[in-house]
Structure 1
């Protein structure tokens, strides 16, 4: 395990990170090699195969320089003035630094990053067309820890702090490592000879700050989480923390105006940190499907958003699932929690993102690995030629816990391009650019299920919207006739411009064409379940002093 960083060293990290990212050799590499190149050091193990573009025909001195790096030229590509070269990964930076080397590209037979979270969020298209991958952006992950000696994490976790009473380190649960890989995993363990799939995170150029607030079973107190948030805010400048990911929560037991956890995430938001929260996995009305019911037979459990995702400032994320490999056919996961929020009727989630059966980094001695290895293990032969054994590096998990870090990665990409963006502008751009979608099993767009739509990073990176007012999610209300309306007074300024964004004064721009007032009131099926005080006031609110990650069967195995 790498040594923990001292507090005295923390102030140096932003300078060190920016200096490393500024190295000219990074500009010579394609988006697949950059994560490997950025982390390459004298201690790096293994070999890397690259296509090297030379500035001209090599002379004897230049060939000697390649030999000194143990570079084996296995294929001449004279047609394009290049060669296929295999060399120790530890020498990759030295190769890129050679003045006669113009460019490096990954040499592989696979379609890199052809995976659910990167393909279906359009992250891969952004890498290829714009070159943005979250370089220089630091993301705090408040979870069960990060196994920072994982090959896909080594060098990527820049600081650690532990606020869980158990004192556990190195992620004994496994949840935090999986979340971290979705944000910034750089695919080393699934790259190289024999690999035919590579499991990148959405923003493989980002750095991670590991803040442990949950124990080995994925549980922790609200005070543990708030202590972690306090630490993040206190170290925001020293560590250049721009994003906070919270793939955890508890049932709503009070208004966000008094909920301590909501107040803490608001403080982080107002301190300039983008806060991304999982919506929760309680979107089903029943555990068994029944014919004739919506939501693939499970019924829709409106009002099931968890805290702190019920806070109007934060970005709350629901989960979609892959149906047939075609992004256009992705569907909302039946378990994804629905809005509006309990008690305050905040219109949530804000958007949805890939989150079902996601392959990401594994803490191989963790609770999840040992308890659910039989059902959730990833076979090595799923991504690499060799023995048909369970991978020591990757694992499958499902839920809005997996969707939230996809959006955190998206925020990192936006902040790399424009570091001055505020959390409100990030939220506005992600929501305005989201693809407006309809439930493939129904006839309507349901903002209480899909929010503003499905994350589209390619659209978001091209957005120029600027929020000059808080981009709060509005609340809903019901009139005497049962019609459901958006309370525009909670989000519109005197000029009737949403969130202060010029030119955006139509709610349908954000939430689609069939929004939930007047003519579409019926989309909140059995709306009395949401507004009927007899139902909610009698609900048993368990665990209001505890934050947990969902380790139920639907979240573990997905659908």
Structure 2
């Protein structure tokens, strides 16, 4: 419907009044010429207020004014009238008629006035983060929610803190069920104050919520430590005792099924879980890493990514995390930092949304918070800051109609919505040329199950097209009902496109269909499977090679067999690329007891040097927790023989020691005239290679260069060798030997083309 002119004018004048109020609460007066010029530049929007005007007259008001208005008030001592325009009066024409009347001193719209929503709490000026998330504007709409319960799973809460006590309800101490959930660390009290310190009470600070119901659930001790069993119990307790929001400013890097079951239990009971991402500058901790949890990272005081904030594909939003002023043990106040201080802001905002829109589902609340956030890093979603920094006023004013599909616009490949692995999206598809694009970034080659659920069956199909990363082969499916699709996809960015297969379909009963799209991702097994038992141990013919492996299923044991042909010391090393993985090594000689190597924690390298003699050895690798892990480990060995050679065994091409990188210097030992030392290198582009071989004993030495087929390309010998050869891209071998033992020789391997480019 077209907006009426009088509505436009009223709204414009209303905006003018608001501007003038903010300029200093001055008396609002619109001079005739100024009024019209300002009106012409304002943006129009409809309002529902009655069209009332205040006019100050120099003399008596003329009766003629009542032709188009109704007199509400007349203050003869002030010569002021309060008038209401009659229906169907053209405001623009009416203003033109009266704006130049010499009897009018000023005229103004009768604006709505409300009390200030800036709280009077003593330390409120120190809570600068509240302005950064636009809380003052949000408080003009809602300041409290005593209809729902927010459970805080933490170190407990200071039960006698004057700024918290009025908002506390009964909770539990799961460390000692006979004791109260009294905080003995301080962290839980910090968190509680951010969520719901009593606001506008002239003391302390103001929480996101001024009035609320906080349930303290103590799951961490005075050191701030607990375990996944207590956290899982705490989640279930909170759900069973009426919590609507559960806040967890805690976490651990390793997945645990018990905590996952508790989270799923809460989600099934329509409880919203908010969790801090963690402060290690690494992958998200659990439970924040669960896709069903609203995960929160931190930005610094400049609204830039805080370098300590954990990140990843499951990160949803961020909030200020540095110098957050809040409640402290003993009825005091302090400033604290971290994602633990960011997450309570999000939990509080969720409660305000429930107060304004009590019928929202947890997923809808989560989506409003995400879709209303302010970009603070890359446009749209990114793994460091999620959808951006929360914006309270935008969240409260978010158009609920957009919840049907908050990912728009995503109708091109360039605007594809990032789709975190192991997540679910809710959206809708419209018949009129609508296409929905998503992009899935897989950290490793793996299997993905796509589950598309439609709100109802279709008479004509929807087409799903999957574009695997780096390939020209697309997968196309046409479906009319909810369907599961399983694909093996490469590492990197793959795309998914949804559209009606026929945009000119006939017989469609509706032009819109709502759907949910879920992906479940599993890393592929490594190339050495199946090696789950000692009898199936994978034989490593080259002790120099680096083994990349995975634990692609629960209780995956990877067995390897190695052969040692000389006495010395063998260093066994395992490094991992994720803090989700805690490697454990078992090393044993054939027929003997094993040695367990497990000295470090999750994400850390395990390494041990063991005396060995010629024989067969077995190595078993596993994750300490026995879980399926999305990540890789690298296993490598270094044998140092009794004469100090660190490259043995490298007597054959299959055992060749890798020469990696430019300007590489390598030292070796020739045991006797039968000993051959093989090396291998790979060129990514045509290059001029300089090879220098020297020895301090001034003995004759020989070097032979081979291509990948072991054809001889160059052979040179002497007390020192210095040769330059031009080679194409590819794999090459270098063999070094001598007619008599050498206690030490040196190889210098230079890429001349790289050196020239650097110069």
Q: TM class by shorter-chain length?
A: 0.5 to 0.7
Task: Tell me, in whole angstroms, the C-alpha distance in 2 between the residues paired with 1:215 and 1:417.
Answer: 36
Specify whether residues 136 and 484 from structure 1 end up closer, same or farther in structure 2 by C-alpha distance, changes over 3 A only: same
Listed as ranges, the matches of 1:343-422 within 5 Å are 347-364=313-330, 393-422=332-361
What's the secondary structure of 2:165's corresponding residue?
coil
Residues 475 and 486, structure 1, Cα contact 8 Å, conserved in 2: yes
Listed as ranges, the matches of 1:56-455 within 5 Å are 115-128=127-140, 130-165=141-176, 169-187=181-199, 191=202, 199-236=205-242, 241-253=243-255, 259-283=257-281, 301=282, 304-323=283-302, 330-339=303-312, 347-364=313-330, 393-438=332-377, 447-455=382-390
Residues 155 and 187, structure 2, Cα contact 8 Å, conserved in 1: yes
Following TM superposition, by how much is the alpha carbon of 1:405 offset from its aligned partner in structure 2, in angstroms? 0.5
Residues 152 and 247, structure 2, Cα contact 8 Å, conserved in 1: yes
Specify whether residues 104 and 308 from structure 1 end up closer, same or farther in structure 2 by C-alpha distance, changes over 3 A only: closer
Following TM superposition, by how much is the alpha carbon of 1:494 offset from its aligned partner in structure 2, in angstroms? 9.1
2:441 pairs with one of 445, 464, 476: 476
2:391 pairs with one of 436, 448, 456: 456
CA distances 1:230-249 after superposition (whole Å, capped 9, x unpaired)? 1112112xxxx211101111
Task: Tell me, in whole angstroms, the C-alpha distance in 1 between the residues paired with 2:368 and 2:375.
Answer: 14
Paired residue total: 339
Residues 348 and 449, structure 1, Cα contact 8 Å, conserved in 2: no
Specify whether residues 351 and 106 from structure 1 end up closer, same or farther in structure 2 by C-alpha distance, changes over 3 A only: closer
Task: Tell me, in whole angstroms, the C-alpha distance in 1 between the residues paired with 2:116 and 2:131.
Answer: 23
CA distances 1:71-120 after superposition (whole Å, capped 9, x unpaired)? xxxxxxxx9xxxxxxxxxxxxxxxxxxxxxx9899896989566233211
Following TM superposition, by how much is the alpha carbon of 1:253 offset from its aligned partner in structure 2, in angstroms? 4.1
Task: Tell me, in whole angstroms, the C-alpha distance in 2 between the residues paired with 1:504 and 1:132.
Answer: 34
CA distances 1:10-51 after superposition (whole Å, capped 9, x unpaired)? xxxxxxxxxxxxxxxxxxxxxxxxxxxxxxxxxxxxxxxxxx
| Structure with greater contact order relative to length (CA < 8 Å, sep ≥ 6) | 1
Residues 146 and 210, structure 1, Cα contact 8 Å, conserved in 2: yes
Give yes or no for the alignment of 1:485 onto 2:493. yes
Task: Tell me, in whole angstroms, the C-alpha distance in 1 between the residues paired with 2:499 and 2:261.
Answer: 23
Listed as ranges, the matches of 1:470-549 within 5 Å are 472=424, 476-477=441-442, 481=470, 484-485=492-493, 535-536=577-578, 541-542=601-602
CA distances 1:391-435 after superposition (whole Å, capped 9, x unpaired)? x51012111111111000000000001111111101111111111
Residues 252 and 305, structure 1, Cα contact 8 Å, conserved in 2: no
Residues 213 and 224, structure 1, Cα contact 8 Å, conserved in 2: yes
> So what's the TM-score if we normalise by structure 1?
0.53
Residues 272 and 423, structure 1, Cα contact 8 Å, conserved in 2: yes
Task: Tell me, in whole angstroms, the C-alpha distance in 2 between the residues paired with 1:173 and 1:111.
Answer: 22
Task: Tell me, in whole angstroms, the C-alpha distance in 2 between the residues paired with 1:407 and 1:319.
Answer: 11
Task: Tell me, in whole angstroms, the C-alpha distance in 1 between the residues paired with 2:117 and 2:349.
Answer: 24
Following TM superposition, by how much is the alpha carbon of 1:483 offset from its aligned partner in structure 2, in angstroms? 7.1
Specify whether residues 182 and 103 from structure 1 end up closer, same or farther in structure 2 by C-alpha distance, changes over 3 A only: closer
Specify whether residues 419 and 151 from structure 1 end up closer, same or farther in structure 2 by C-alpha distance, changes over 3 A only: same
Residues 153 and 219, structure 2, Cα contact 8 Å, conserved in 1: yes
CA distances 1:464-484 after superposition (whole Å, capped 9, x unpaired)? 144699983796315665873
Following TM superposition, by how much is the alpha carbon of 1:213 offset from its aligned partner in structure 2, in angstroms? 0.7
- Report the structure, 1 or 2, having the larger strand content: 2
CA distances 1:115-149 after superposition (whole Å, capped 9, x unpaired)? 23321122221102x13433433211111111121
What's the secondary structure of 1:353's corresponding residue?
strand
Residues 305 and 337, structure 1, Cα contact 8 Å, conserved in 2: yes
What's the secondary structure of 2:205's corresponding residue?
coil
Specify whether residues 414 and 486 from structure 1 end up closer, same or farther in structure 2 by C-alpha distance, changes over 3 A only: farther
- Report the structure, 1 or 2, having the larger helix content: 1
Match of 2:99 in 1: none
Specify whether residues 484 and 211 from structure 1 end up closer, same or farther in structure 2 by C-alpha distance, changes over 3 A only: same
Task: Tell me, in whole angstroms, the C-alpha distance in 2 between the residues paired with 1:310 and 1:107.
Answer: 35
Specify whether residues 137 and 113 from structure 1 end up closer, same or farther in structure 2 by C-alpha distance, changes over 3 A only: farther
Q: Where does the alignment leave 5 or more consecutive residues of structure 2 unmatched?
A: 1-77, 79-113, 407-421, 426-438, 444-467, 471-489, 502-511, 518-547, 553-574, 584-599, 604-623, 626-759
Residues 148 and 156, structure 1, Cα contact 8 Å, conserved in 2: no
Residues 437 and 445, structure 1, Cα contact 8 Å, conserved in 2: no
- The two structures, once aligned, show a CA RMSD in angstroms of 4.1
Task: Tell me, in whole angstroms, the C-alpha distance in 1 between the residues paired with 2:261 and 2:213.
Answer: 26
Residues 158 and 183, structure 2, Cα contact 8 Å, conserved in 1: yes
Work out which of the two has the higher radius of gyration on C-alpha atoms and give 1 or 2.
Answer: 2
